[in-house]
Structure 1
Amino acid sequence: MEHQHIYDKEGKQICCSLEDKINNDSEHHSDDDGHKHDNSNAVKSTFQMFLPAIISLVLLMFAIGLDNYFTPSWFTGYIRIGWYVLAYIPVGFPVIKDAFESIKKGDIFSEFLLMSIATIGAFAIAEFPEGVAVMLFYAIGEIFQALAVKRAKANIKTLLDQRPDEVTILENNVAKTIKASNAKIGDIIQLKAGEKLGLDGELLSDTASFNTAALTGESKPDTKAKGETVLAGMINLNSVCQVKVTVAYTDSKLSKILELVQDATAKKAPTELFIRKFAKIYTPIVVFLAVAICVVPMLFVENYQFNDWLYRALIFLVISCPCALVISIPLGYFGGIGAASKNGILFKGSNYLDVMASVQNVVMDKTGTMTEGVFKVQEVIFNSDFNKDEILQLVNVLESQSTHPVATAIHQFVGNVDSTITLKDVEEISGHGLKAYVNGKELLVGNFKLMDKFSISYDIDPSSIVYTLIAVAYDKKFVGYLTIADSIKEDAQITIDKLKALGVKTTMLSGDKTTVVQFVAQKLGITNAFGDLLPEDKVNKVKEIIAKKETVAFVGDGVNDAPVVALSNVGIAMGGLGSDATIETADVVIQDDKPSKIAMAINIGKKTKKIVWQNIGLAFTVKAVVLILGAGGLATMWEAVFADVGVALLAILNAVRIQRMKF
């Protein structure tokens, strides 16, 4: 996984070198494909991170003991200074080095420089214990911050464990174990009970049950039949089954999901971007104020003591360090993305967490979003002047050109496609249906708007029939229609109830006939519903909502509704086990197709935003109070340490709470 360092917009690193160290260490334990392996040195690595601080702490405790309790005659002068310098080096040298590196990159006013000036200044005025202590606590705080970032990313990184390193393939009916990345399209994988599938493929066995939690966050078993698609990361639950590889290892659905999640932290929320800009302005201002605190009083204070005012300035510098803000805010968003991933919701960036938190109107498609999208032909009403079976065969051949759920329903109803029928000039008319020529005669299959478009007269009122209607015309004559029904998803009602409880409006837009759309909307309690819409009609409806200054989330398949997804403030795709294009189009992907996850996504966004602003309020309040006290000489270095490291740790503990929350 790529590492998201904390940079400003000019590409200069602001903070968190220890986070980078952790991430780089983890890379050394990954193979070329990004797989994570058992790391027997994990405890040792953590100990190594704390080792400089432990050495510094032991030396500092001895020095304080020698200063205040044992007071030997030899612990004076250069020996005493040297001892404190030795205590300072393990924790101070890396920070001073980072300060020089930042300066070379043009980032002068980094937190590393602030801490270096403050602690070296403390040595300059003979405040040796405080100089070591400030840097020691700062180093410990940085380690805890880095570990917290690592923990916050854990929910995301665990996705990397879902692809096995090896798979068993059959060659001439002989089982052979190879690296998963070496498997080729067409290979036959033998999957034992309890094993994870390494690549996407087609099930060759009659049936098999899988745990799909790695992809959907749903532990309920999913039973697949022969010929159905099974995906990398699924766990075979019962008997041995065989799967034919259909997609290369690097192109699997799980690989694309991992890529999506890896990219998520690169898209920053406005709050993060603001804090970065703020830190670049805030830090140099505080440095100049610290200089002023030290120098300006000599013009006005009668008994001016340079060391006293320098001490106040150094306290001011320690307090000013923006670490609590720069670390805890991205950490809050990491936690939000991780919590969402754990529940089968993929955010493509922390900016979308903020947008979801402020959504006022959820606009949704009907088919595949609030309904199952599994259509069945209910009845066929054809004019007696036509041969019903012959027309159905023609319709079946034409619909075989489409992947729409309606086409699938017709194919299941009619059966195999008649290969002797030849179509010419096949054309899909967006929002209407299909057109082709058979034996020189025009064949139209679609909605009644298609009939109107080609001036085909009919003697029924489509609005009087609740079901979805598929009209058929042949040789410029109206043949009749098929009725097709879809079922509402079992958690659709829960979804609408939860959205209402959150104060979110609901709107349904569909290309399906108005009577069907209104029927579903009334049954679920959706506020507004519109049917018989072309893609451009949906765009216009969403524009009308946005014109009312409402934040809009559009929920659909992310492909057919691409214009609306692009127009809305946040596009949500019912990705499930669907097309890769769906995952790539939307801003948020709900992996298990459950509409109830819409409300969960909004809740996660709200909780994340709340925690982020709690941290901002905490950091600003404490720092402001201690800055004032420090400037007035009422705060010591110990209060300064609390204002910096203590507040940062409190903010981190608050940020990681989101990973434990129930949504």
Structure 2
Amino acid sequence: MVLVVASIAIIPPLLWRQPFDEWVYRALVFLVVSCPCALVISIPVGFFGGLGGASRNGILVKGGQYLEALGNVDTVVFDKTGTLTKGVKVAKVVPMADMTREELLDYAALAESYSNHPIALSIVEAYGKPLDRQRVDEYTEIPGYGVKARIRGRQVLVGTAGLLKQHGVTCPEVELAYTAVHLSIDGQYAGYIIIEDELKEDSKQAINDLKRMGVKRTDMFTGDNYHIGLKVGQNLGLDEVYAELLPHQKVEKLETIEKTKATRKGKVVFVGDGINDAPVLARVDVGVAMGELGSDAAIEAADVVLMTDESSKLVTAIMIASRTKRIVWQNIIMALGVKGLVLLLGAAGTTSMWEAVFADVGVAILSILNAMRVIKKPRSHRCDEATAA
């Protein structure tokens, strides 16, 4: 640009004997207009506005690149428990042998007392008494399986049938339509607890809104058995359900989904909350964690955190991302359009320095004001707003 400005100031007076001061003035106008401030400001300030707007809606986005990715979502994959369902209600406690219901709940609640998984929280809530954690000598959480603890010298396993089978404990068949938490004490089967999964109030609406917004696929991962996953998937209208998955199997399924997604440029989003979701959250294009009940590992690995644990917040996040993308492009087109026009007029000698200053500083201010619009709270994540996004 400096060479162009120098050419405008020197060549016409030398070749065509034009007034030197007039062409120097035109060159200075051209130089002021060519300043890239408005263009450089328009992009980051748009994303800053989007990040601020997301924060005001209880959505923490850890960078502008993730906000940009949310504006081009192809597939959304949800974890089940704690994400689409509450998993907070103990429906039945079935002790075995000489174990009483209260004793079984006591051991289960103590073993799960250090976990923030929704199932663990539901067991502690069902116990309903103060817990003496000093009775827990050792505690190990095994992602995808459950927990292993030593309580007053007794080894306690609480989790899936697979966890107990790994330690040589045989589990009886239980009702397939519900989540079963099995217990063993010192290698002996002690009983099981049935967890009744309840859908979150906004889950179905969130799935419907995502489809209205143009998301091609909505899938679900779960470590529960296939019958439970299928029931939830049918109730919510999901496209595909992958059940009985361990953490590493979730990563494998995610890689398969990424290879078969509808569009190359479209992004895959995974929404989860537990420690066993952390590998997937770290691997996916955009990882979204539930902030209120989510594990520290999931929140750390995620790119976006929904602070209220509402699935519908993902719809709001995508709306804000799409709106941010539109505003950024508006700023780019406005900056380039105004500057290009004033550059041509300035070289032709039909604009003054005042117009040049407006094309630089004025357009920069307009870009900032335009970007501030994205901070406003979206009116609704349904119907016309969702379609527009």
Normalised by the size of structure 1, how large is the TM-score?
0.51
**Partner Cα separation in structure 2 for residue 579 and residue 445 of structure 1:** 18
> Contact 1:558–1:572 at 8 Å: present in 2 too?
no
| Cα distance change, pair 441–319 in 1 and its aligned pair in 2 (3 A) | closer
CA apart distance, 1:597: 0.9
1:641 aligns with 2:352: no
Partner Cα separation in structure 2 for residue 661 and residue 475 of structure 1: 55
Partner of 2:259: 547
Instruction: Map 1:11-22 onto structure 2 (within 5 A).
Output: none
Distance 1:365 1:418 in 2: 29
Partner residue of 1:446? 159
In the alignment, residue 590 of structure 1 is paired with which amino acid?
Answer: L
> 1:425 Cα deviation (Å)?
6.5
State the secondary structure of the residue aligned to 2:310.
coil
Correspondence for 2:36: 322
Task: Report deviation, 1:569.
Answer: 2.0
Q: Could you tell me how far apart the structure 2 residues matched to 1:594 and 1:421 are?
A: 34
- Give the whole-Å Cα distance in 2 for the aligned partners of 1:635 and 1:415: 78
**Unaligned 5+ runs, structure 2:** 380-389
For 2:181, the aligned partner's letter is I
Q: 2:69 aligned with 1:355, yes or no? A: yes
Amino acid at match of 1:413: A
Q: Of 107, 118, 121, which aligns to 1:405? A: 118
Q: 1:493 maps to what in 2? A: 204
CA contact (8 A) 1:397 1:421 kept: no
Which of the two has higher C-alpha Rg?
Answer: 1
For the residues of structure 1 that align with 2:124 and 2:293, how far apart are their CA atoms?
22
Which residue of 239, 242, 263 maps to 1:527?
Answer: 239
Q: Residues 57 and 377 of structure 2 are in contact (CA less than 8 Å); yes or no, is this contact kept in structure 1?
A: no
Question: Could you say if the C-alpha distance between residues 359 and 412 of structure 1 is closer, same or farther in structure 2, counting changes exceeding 3 Å?
Answer: same
Query: Which 5+ residue runs of structure 1 have no aligned equivalent?
Result: 1-285
* 8 Å Cα contact 2:86-2:198 kept in structure 1: yes
Among candidates 290, 311, 324, match of residue 595 of structure 1: 311
Q: Provide Cα deviations, 1:287-320, integer angstroms capped at 9, x if missing partner.
A: 221001112334542x333222212211211211
Structure 1: distance between partners of 2:156 and 2:188: 9
Distance in 2, Cα, partners of 1:615 & 1:509 = 40
1:207-606 maps to which residues of 2 (within 5 A)? Answer: 286-298=1-13, 300-301=15-16, 303-374=17-88, 376-383=89-96, 385-389=97-101, 390-400=103-113, 402-414=115-127, 416=129, 427-435=140-148, 443-460=156-173, 465-474=176-185, 476=187, 478-504=189-215, 505-548=217-260, 549=264, 550-557=266-273, 559-576=275-292, 584-606=300-322
Residues 1:523 and 1:290: Cα distance change in structure 2 (over 3 Å): same
The letter of the residue matching 2:321 is G
Distance 2:377 2:121 in 1: 41
Alignment correspondent of 1:68:
none
Letter in 1 for 2:349: G
Contact (CA 8 Å) 1:555, 1:573: kept in 2 or not?
Answer: yes
In percent, how many aligned pairs have the same letter?
Answer: 46
For residues 184 and 19 of structure 2, the distance between their equivalents in structure 1, rounded to whole angstroms, comes to: 99
Residues of 1 paired with 2:198 and 2:177: CA distance?
A: 13
Calculate the TM-score normalised by the size of structure 2.
0.83
Structure ranking higher on relative contact order (CA contacts 8 Å, 6+ apart): 2
Distance change >3 Å, CA 450–CA 514, structure 1 → 2? same
Contact 1:576 1:591 in 2 (8 A): yes
1:134-153 equivalence runs, <5 A: none
Give per-residue Cα distances to partners, 1:361-381, cap 9 Å, x unaligned. 22222222222242x221234
Q: Secondary structure at the match of 1:540?
A: helix
1:511 partner amino acid: G
Q: 1:378 is aligned with what amino acid?
A: A
- Mark the CA change 1:491 to 1:322 in structure 2 (over 3 Å): closer, same or farther: same
Report deviation, 1:553. 2.1
Residue 417 of structure 1: CA displacement?
A: 7.7
1:414 Cα deviation from its structure 2 partner: 4.3
Q: Is the 8 A contact 1:558 1:571 kept in 2?
A: no
Give the deviation of 1:521 after TM superposition: 1.8
How far the C-alpha of 1:339 sits from its partner, in A, is: 1.9
Residues matched between the structures, number: 373
Distance 1:600 1:407, change over 3 A: closer
